[in-house]
Amino acid sequence: MSPFKRLCLAACLALAALVPFASLQAKEAADLAADPVAEKRLMEISAELRCLVCQNQTIADSNADLALDLRREIRGMIQQGKSDREILDFMVARYGDFVLYRPPVQNNTALLWFGPLLILVVGLVALVRYLRRRNVAATAAAGGGLSEAERRRAETLLQEAAASDKKDSAQ
């Protein structure tokens, strides 16, 4: 048997060995079909909770093991008849406000909510101050910084130039 045929055979056997494990991922999908109303609630609640592993995804979007466990936990609480508020309160009590994808406005989260606005205002104030200082410096460099003697000398030179222009145009 050629090396190429052996490689193809080995690849086919490896894929065939993985087929039984493909159904393990389908377990989550099988639970979805059990009760569509409960699953809709699960997805709504899951969209409000942050995946503690991924941190930038909700547990509804995440495939991390912790997210799967939290969805299972929420599914069980829904089956026990708990309200959405009770489920969210349980998750906050267990993991803190960080688990909420949109944490509430409180003293300890004020910087999170108002920090970007504060940074924007500070940046705008710094920009305005910089532009004003630059404008004052440009004005001073353009002639605002002449002494009285220098001003008189400049006026004399301008008058002499104007007089010589008149004289030249008269001839």
Residues 73, 41 share a domain: yes
Residues 39, 99 share a domain: yes
Give pLDDT tens digits for 90-149: 999 998 888 888 888 888 888 888 999 999 999 999 999 999 998 887 776 665 567 788
Residues 19, 40 share a domain: no
Q: pTM of the predicted model, to two decimals?
A: 0.51
**Bridge partners, 58 (sequence order):** 50
Residues 165, 120 share a domain: yes
Full domain range(s) for residue 62: 35-104
How buried is 59 (Cβ within 10 angstroms: 0-12 exposed, 13-18 middle, 19+ buried)?
A: buried
Express the helix, strand and coil content of the chain in percent, nearest 5 each. Answer: 80, 0, 20
41 in helix, strand or coil? helix
